[in-house]
Each structure stands twice: as structure tokens, then as C-alpha cells.
Structure 1
Amino acid sequence: MVRLHILIIAVLTISSAIIFMPYLVSARLKTNYYAKTCPTVETIVRNVVNQKIQQSRITIAAVLRLFFHDCFVEGCDASVIIASTQGNTAERDHPDNLSLAGDGFDTVIKAKVAIDAIPSCKNKVSCADILAIATRDVIQLAGGPGYQVELGRLDGLTSKASNVEGNLPEPTFNLDRLNTMFASHGLNQADMIALSAAHTLGAAHCAKFSKRLYNFSPKNPVDPTLSKTYAAQLQQTCPKNVDPGTITLLDPTTPNTFDNVYFKNLQKGMGLFTSDQVLFTDKRSKGTVNLWASNSKAFQTAFVNAMIKLGRVGVKTGKNGNIRRDCGAFN
């Protein structure tokens, strides 16, 4: 998710500005934010999400991934949904975001239209909040935990492709780089491991992990942390010189269900990315993987807590944001 080269000491030095920022803004968010202005907002979003999932199951992973990519770049402000214009190349057109499925964007845009069709709700609900609600809904509808979403975010006023560079985690990250990146958003190692389990849903392009299958090292062409059986399966799906558009499931065991099988897969050497498998091979995180592989309830509790913390990152309030009339364009 991120390519940030920040020394731990630097993170500690600016902790008051970055690490604790999510907790400061959280005081402005509340679960009943729209109780008077648009009390049916969550029902409306849930209905749209349900309809989208019935049309395309990809919607589940698409919305979840869209939320992550949004929050990690400019904060949770729906800046990733803005379409590029002649004078501005927006976040969504950065190479790291081109693989975001259109169903995610479409879900938020359709929910916004449905909300604004109600006169009392029109122009009262931000696209950022709609994305946060929809993310909770897709997780729950895929079998994951439900939780109350904190609301009150404004939509961001900036969306630049250049801001994406170095701000999304990479599949090649080791534990130190993962921890450093997540710490810069006020998220600790346990939060990072819990949020990584979002890879229990969705798929990835072969190019994102093919080095592990063919060019890992001169001594070991195949990454030795991969199960031999799993590596052979991946080589069948992703042969050398494969079509760049070819994808494979992140979780081959229960690909359509949000569960703790992600951690069980890591125990078997079936983490698709280096950044997945390292959570089990590094002894500093291995214990957490083992715990959550055996205790689904503990994992779900940790995941909910991490999602709530993630939803507080970079929240826009006051003059720093507004409520867009169209989620894909600035007012």
C-alpha cells in the first residue's frame, strides 16, 4: 500500500503532527452525525451497495480497496474519486490506482445520487462519508463484522496524481517498511496486520508478484517462503510472459468471504505478496498471525478497531473541505 522511506526516528520526531492527528480529528466525527439532516443515509447506501453486489461481486473488493487508497494518500476525503481534467491529473490516474475497479467508484457515485434525490438530504452528505459507510457494508455483506461508522468528514479540495507517489504500500514491502508507513498514519503493527487481512478478498495482477515465481534470487528462482504446491499453482495461472491483464485471487481458499482464512493461508506459505507472507515469516508479527488464525473473534475485533482508526486519518473539516455535488468533480 505504500512506498514511503521514512526513518523511525523521523516518525517519532513529527509524531505530534502526524501520529496523533487521527485522534484529534476523531472528536469531530460521530456515529449519529446525520441523525437530523439525513437520518436514512445508511439505509440508502446499504440498498445501493446491495444492488451493486447483485450486479457484480467485484464490488465488494473494489469498494474496500478504494477506501484504503483514498485514506492513505490525502486522508479519507474521497479525493481518489475525482476525475482528471485538462488542467489536473487526479489521483485515480496515477499508475498505482489504475487497477482500482470501476465498481468501487460507481457504488459511491450512485449512492450519492440516491441520497441527493431526497430533498432533505440533498447536498448534506459528503462523498467521503458515503465511501466509509459503503466500505463497512461490503465487509459485512461478505461475512465480516459490522460496526458503527464515524461520520462528519468533508470532501477534499485537492486530488493530484503526484501526491500518490510513495504513499501506497507495495507488495514487496518487508515488516519494517510496512510498520513505518502505517505508523505515519497513526496505525500500529497490530492495526497493520489486521488491515492486511483485507487481502482475504479480491485479486491481483500477475506482474505484482511474478518475481517470486521466476526471479526471486540466483540461488532460489522461486521464493522459498512460498508453499511449493501454491507456487506451482501460481505458475500455471501466471506463466512467464503472461498477458499483463491476467489476475489471480488473493485468497484462493475462500475468495468471496471476509474471514480469518487469510492468516491460515499465511501459515501454509500461501501469502500472495511478499508483504503478506512476511507477516508470518517475521517472528515479530508471527504470533499475531497465529493468534488470529485460531481466533476469528479476536481478529474481527482488531479489524474493526483498525478500520475505525483508519477512517480518522486526514479528515477534512471547516475550510479544508466541502460537500461535493458530484463525487467525481470539484464544486
Structure 2
Amino acid sequence: MTALELACPNTVSCSDILAASTRNLLVMLGGPNFPVFLGRRDGTVSTSSSVNNHLPKPTMPMSHIIDIFTQRGFTVEEFVALTGAHTVGLTHCSEIFNNENKNIIHNNDYGYNPRFAEALQKACGNYKNDPTLSVFNDIMTPGKFDNMYFQNLPKGLGVLKSDHGLYSDNRTKPFVERFGKDENEFFRVFAKSMQKLSFLGVKTGRRGEIRRRCDQIN
């Protein structure tokens, strides 16, 4: 960002950099390419408290998570496709074995594959002393953007409670099955949904600012 700001001062926003970088990383990992429209400006207010009610949490009931997306104009199909981003990346063990979730895994109340649940418990055994402990969201092809995440869910290989909720809920299960069978279809809906997500709450024109540093307001 610093080098870009020096070369093109007050021209490229952090929001545009983030949107383009996200798309480029997905493509590098084997995911679909899609147009990223530029011209965003950065917000002038940034507080962690304002995020809490807008992002889904893995312990939320599926109805609550669906509502978060549908209230912002996304269909259930688009929501499920976006969740397919869990095919790459890591989840901190503290998110898996929090107080609301640990008994679900221990008692196998939510469809975890028993051997997988045991492996999670071993991998995360020291998470209270080491908060950096994490596990791959997709244990089969963790470094590749593909539809393996959706293939994992019917086998009980989801990491989070919300992952298993996708396959157990009748509103989302048909899309899990469709995307698991057809990677091209997953890529098509995911690309369309990512582009739609990139327009959500966008500031342009005189609204907002172009930050000189992405970690602080001008």
C-alpha cells in the first residue's frame, strides 16, 4: 500500500486494493475469475463494535445466519456459495472449541465424523494455552480453491457448527449437494455472489475518503 500511495497519491483506495487482491488470490488458488469494478472510497468510521451485528458467527443458528445475508439482498443459494470460501484457509481452535460448541463435538450432536472429531480434539488440545492453534477448513485440499468443502459436509468433515448446519438444514442442503456435484456451477454462483458482495455498502464520489494508510483514517 505504501509503495502504491507514493506512486499514485490519493488515487487508489484500500477498499479497491482489498477487493482486487481477494479476487487475485482466489484465482491463484484455482478459483474462478470475475470482474472487479474499481472506484470505491474508504469509510471515515471504523469500530469493531459496528461489525458484530453484521457478520455471521459459527455458533449462530442457521436461521440467524440466513437472515444476516437475506436482509442484505442475498439469496440462500448465494449465501451457500459464499460459504464455499471455507474450502481454503484456517479456523482458530478457539472458534471450534468455545463454550457453546465443545459439547456438540464431544457428544457428536451435530453430525461430526467420529474420527474427525477425535482428530480435531487432538489437534486443538492445547488451544487454551496457545491461542494461535488452528486447523484447515478443508482437510482434503486445503491449498486449492475447489468444491471439496461441499463434498466434505455429507461425510461429517465440516470444522464448524455452522458448516454442519448447512447440510442439516433443508433450506441450504440442496445447494450443498448441487455444488458438491458440480464444481463449475459452484464457481459460477460464487463469482456472481462475490461480485455482488463487493458492491455492498460501497462509497463512491464524494462519500468517504482515500486513506493514506489502510490501518487508520486520514
Query: Quick check: 1:177 aligned with 2:64?
Result: yes
Residue in structure 2 matched with residue 156 of structure 1 by the alignment: 43
Distance 2:184 2:175 in 1: 13
Cα pair 1:154 1:323 within 8 Å, conserved: yes
Q: 2-side partners of 1:252 and 1:185: how far apart?
A: 31
Q: State how far apart, in whole Å, the 2-side matches of 1:241 and 1:152 are.
A: 42
Partner SS, residue 317 of structure 1: coil
Give the Å deviation of 1:309. 0.6
1:114 matches 2:6: no
Where 2:213 maps in the other structure, the secondary structure is coil
CA distance in 2, matches of 1:212, 1:264: 26
Indicate whether 1:262 and 2:141 are aligned: no
Partners of 2:134 and 2:66 lie apart in 1 by 27
Query: Is the 8 Å Cα contact of residues 155 and 322 (structure 1) preserved in structure 2?
Result: yes
**Whole-angstrom distance in 2 between the partners of 1:224 and 1:212:** 12
Q: Share of identical aligned residues, percent?
A: 38
Code of the residue aligned with 1:279 in structure 2: it is L
The answer to whether the 8 A contact 1:214-1:222 is kept is: no
Structure 1 Cα separation of the partners of residues 153 and 102 of structure 2 = 20
What per-residue deviation string (whole Å, max 9, x for no partner) do you get for residues 95-130 of structure 1?
xxxxxxxxxxxxxxxxx2332343xx3321111111
| Residue-pair matches, total | 216
Q: Where do 5+ consecutive residues of structure 1 fail to align?
A: 1-111
Say if 1:213 and 1:231, in contact at 8 Å, map to a contact too: no
Question: Is the Cα contact below 8 Å between 1:200 and 1:259 reproduced in 2?
Answer: yes
Letter in structure 2 aligned against 1:160: T
3-state secondary structure, aligned to 1:320: coil
Over the aligned positions, Cα root-mean-square deviation in angstroms equals 2.0
Structure 1 stretch 154-163 or stretch 203-212: which is displaced more? 203-212
TM-score normalized with structure 2 length: 0.91
Q: What is the distance in 2 between the residues matched to 1:266 and 1:235?
A: 18
Q: Deviations over 1:177-213 (max 9, x none)?
A: 1110012222111111011111111111212122587
Asked if 2 retains the 8 angstrom alpha-carbon contact of 1:156 and 1:321, the reply is yes
Counterpart residue number, 1:314: 201
Deviations 1:73-114 (A, max 9, x none): xxxxxxxxxxxxxxxxxxxxxxxxxxxxxxxxxxxxxxx233
Normalised by the size of structure 1, how large is the TM-score? 0.61
Q: Paired residue for 1:215?
A: 103
Structure 1 position 301, deviation (Å): 0.4
Q: Distance in 1 between matches of 2:126 and 2:215?
A: 38
CA 1:281–1:156 in structure 2 vs 1: closer, same or farther (change >3 Å)?
A: same
1:326, distance to aligned residue in structure 2 (A): 2.0
